[in-house]
Chains A and B, each alone.
Chain A
Amino acid sequence: MTDESSPALAVRDLAVEYATDRGALMAVNGVSFSVAKGEILGLVGESGCGKTTTAMALLRLVQHPGRIVAGEALIDGGQNIVALDEKQLRSVRWRRIALVPQGALNSLNPVMRVKDQLGDVIQTHEDRRIGGRELRERIEHLFMLVGLPSRVYRLYPHELSGGMKQRVCIAMAIALDPPLVIADEPTSALDVIVQRVVAQTLLSVKQRLGMSLLLIGHDMGLMAQMADRVAVMYAGEIVEIGPTSAVLGNPRHPYTQTLIASVPTMRTRGLPRMGSDESAPDLASRPRGCAFQARCSSVMDVCRSVAPELRAVGENQRAACHLYPDGVA
C-alpha cells in the first residue's frame, strides 16, 4: 500500500542505546528526518556521531550490546520497521530497503561466486522459482546498470578489484528494485579515482530506477556532488538539516561551519579555526544542554543548561542552536 505523497522514509525520534561497562550510552539520541521519493539525503558527521548506527537501526541490524529503544521508521508511509517481527522483517528486508555497505572489503561471501550471491537474494524474495536462464538475464541486466563486464558473473570476490566489488554490492542492492537504498560510506575504502567511478555509478543507477537514497558519509565533496538535502549529525543528534546548497553554502550551526571549514579548498590559506576542545564527544556522559558546548566557539550560558531543538533558519533549512532562538532567517 503505497501513498504517492508520503515520503519514502519517515524517521521519528529514533533512539539506539548501547550497554557498556560505564553505563548506557545513547549512540542515536532521538533522531527525526524524512527522505522524499526519489530524493538523495546525505547524512554526514565525524566518526562515532551515530550515522552508521542509524543506518543499522533502519535495517534492524543493530547488534548486542546495542538495541533500539525508541522511535519509529516508516517505509513508504506504511510499515514501521522498528516494530516488525522476524517474519515480516525478512520479507521487508532488501525488497523495500536495501544496503550498499561500507568499503565492500569484506561484505561479499569469500567462498561464493558473484552470480550465486546475487542470485540467492533474488531467489529468496520471489514467490516463484526462477529458472536458470531468466536469473542469468536479470543478473546481467544488473551488471549493465552498474557497468560491470559480464565475465564477473562467474568470478569470486577475491578476483575483483575494490571498485568492482563495490559495484557488485550496488548491483545487489538494486536487484529487487527497492524504493529505498541506504549507502553507508560507499566510497570510503577506495582509491580516489575509483571513488569517482563508484559515485557516478550510484548516481546513474538512482536516476534510472528512481529510488530514494540515504547516503551516509563524512566526505563533504561527495555530498555536494550527489545529495539533494543534507543532514549533519553530532553526538547522535541531527544538528542541521536542509538543501545541500544551503547547508554547505550557508551553514548555520557552529559544528557544520567547522566541518565545512575543515575541507581544504584551492583558495584557503592558513589553518581552519576549530573550537577549544578537540576531543570527540563522550556519549556515555552527556553534558546538560547542547552536546557541542565543549567545542563551540560561540558557546553561551544557555547552551550549558538547555538542549536546543531544530528550528527553521532558512527556507527548508533547520538547525539546532541557541544562536537562532526564534528561527531567524
Chain B
Amino acid sequence: MAETAETRRSRRRSPWLNGKLMLGIAVLVALLSLQWIGPLFVDTQEALIGSTTPNLVPVGQKANPALGFKPSKSAHPLGTDSQGRDMLAVMVVGTPRTLYVGLVAAGLGLIVGTILGFLAGFSRGLTDSTITTLTDVVLTIPPIAVLVVVAAFFTQTSVTLLALIIALFAWPTATRQIRAQVLSMREQGYVKMAQLSGASIWKVMYGEMMPNLLPYLAASFMSMMAATILVVTGLETLGLGSIRLPTLGTTINNALQASAVFRGMWWWWSPPVVVLIVIFLSLLLVTLGLDQVANPKLRKHL
C-alpha cells in the first residue's frame, strides 16, 4: 500500500530527530574522533614537555621579544607554551582524553545508576529506603572534597582511575531519575497488563519500560558526562591531574601557574577553554534535545 502523506509527515516528526540533539552529538563525535584522526595530521609527540621551542606565538601574530616571545613558525600554527609544548598537538591529544574521562565515568555511572534505580523503584520497602538514603548521602558529598584527598595522596593517578572514582559520585544522579521514572511507570496500564499476563519482572522491565525510559537514560548520561568533565577539569585546574600526557584541564592549570593570562599568552589558555565551551554547549544541546523527546509539552517552545 502506498505511503500516505500522513504517515510520511508523522515519520519526519520523530522527536528523536530534532536539530539540537543531532548537532550536539555530531560535535561530540567529531571531537572524540580527534583521537584517531588527529595523529594523521599532527605529531602527537609535540604535546609533551620540552618537545619544541617554547614561547612561539601563533601564526598571524607579531612576537614581542621584550616579553620573551619568539616569532611564529608554520609548523606550530597555534604557537607553543613556555614549556615547549605545541598547542595544536596538546589540543589533539588532550581533547579526546578529557572526553574519555567523561564517557567512562558517565557510562559506569549509568550502569550502576540504572540497576539501583530499577531496584529501588520496583522493590519499594526496605530496599528502596536503603538505596534512596545511600543515594542522597553520596549526592550531598562534594565530589571535589574526596577527589582532592585521593589525588593528593596518590600522585600516580591515571586518567582511568580518576574516571572510575568520579563514577562513584556520578551514579546517584542516574539512580534518582530512573527511580522516579520507574515509580511513575509502574502505575501505568501497560506495565500492569504485562505483569498480569504472567511476564517476569525482567521481561516487564526490558520489554515495556526500557523503550520509554530511553530518553531519560540518555539525558542522565549526558548530564553525568557534563558533571564529570566539570569535576575532573576542576581537579586538574587545582593541579591534581595526571602529569605526563596533557588534558584540557591540566593545560589550563599549567597556563595559570605560568601566569599566562597576564603575560598575554592567550594561545595557551584559550584553546582548552574554547574546546571546553564547545563540549559543554554540545552536551547542553543534547540534553535540551532529549528534553523535547521526553516531554512533548516542550516541543512547541523554543
A: residues with CB less than 8 A from B are 21-22
For B10, the chain A residues whose CB sits under 8 A away are 21
Q: Could you pull out 4 A-B pairs where Cβ atoms are within 8 angstroms?
A: A21-B6, A21-B9, A21-B10, A22-B6
Give, as a whole number of angstroms, the nearest-CB distance from A19 to chain B.
12
Nearest A residue to B10 via CB reads A21
Nearest A residue to B300 via CB reads A64
Number of B interface residues in the complex (CB < 8 A) = 3
Alpha-carbon distance A22/B7, docked complex (angstroms):
11
- What are the 4 closest A-B residue pairs judged by CB atoms, nearest first? A21-B10, A22-B6, A21-B9, A21-B6
Give, as a whole number of angstroms, the nearest-CB distance from A25 to chain B.
15
For A22, the chain B residues whose CB sits under 8 A away are 6
B113-124 CB mask vs A (1 if < 8 Å, else 0) is 000000000000
Chain B residues touching A, majority SS = helix
B: residues with CB less than 8 A from A are 6, 9-10
Alpha-carbon distance A21/B9, docked complex (angstroms):
9
Alpha-carbon distance A21/B296, docked complex (angstroms):
15
For A21, the chain B residues whose CB sits under 8 A away are 6, 9-10
Nearest B residue to A65 via CB reads B300
Give, as a whole number of angstroms, the nearest-CB distance from B225 to chain A.
35
Alpha-carbon distance A21/B10, docked complex (angstroms):
9
Alpha-carbon distance A250/B297, docked complex (angstroms):
46
For B9, the chain A residues whose CB sits under 8 A away are 21
Give, as a whole number of angstroms, the nearest-CB distance from B14 to chain A.
14
Nearest A residue to B13 via CB reads A21
Give, as a whole number of angstroms, the nearest-CB distance from A32 to chain B.
34
Alpha-carbon distance A22/B6, docked complex (angstroms):
8
Give, as a whole number of angstroms, the nearest-CB distance from B4 to chain A.
11
Alpha-carbon distance A142/B9, docked complex (angstroms):
54
Give, as a whole number of angstroms, the nearest-CB distance from A117 to chain B.
25
Alpha-carbon distance A22/B9, docked complex (angstroms):
10
For B6, the chain A residues whose CB sits under 8 A away are 21-22
Give, as a whole number of angstroms, the nearest-CB distance from B196 to chain A.
25
Alpha-carbon distance A22/B10, docked complex (angstroms):
10
Give, as a whole number of angstroms, the nearest-CB distance from B163 to chain A.
42
Give, as a whole number of angstroms, the nearest-CB distance from A44 to chain B.
28
Alpha-carbon distance A21/B299, docked complex (angstroms):
15
Alpha-carbon distance A21/B6, docked complex (angstroms):
8
Give, as a whole number of angstroms, the nearest-CB distance from A58 to chain B.
26
Alpha-carbon distance A21/B12, docked complex (angstroms):
13
Nearest B residue to A64 via CB reads B300
Give, as a whole number of angstroms, the nearest-CB distance from B11 to chain A.
12
Alpha-carbon distance A21/B8, docked complex (angstroms):
12
Nearest B residue to A22 via CB reads B6
Give, as a whole number of angstroms, the nearest-CB distance from A207 to chain B.
42
Give, as a whole number of angstroms, the nearest-CB distance from B31 to chain A.
38
Give, as a whole number of angstroms, the nearest-CB distance from B143 to chain A.
33
Alpha-carbon distance A21/B5, docked complex (angstroms):
11
Nearest A residue to B9 via CB reads A21
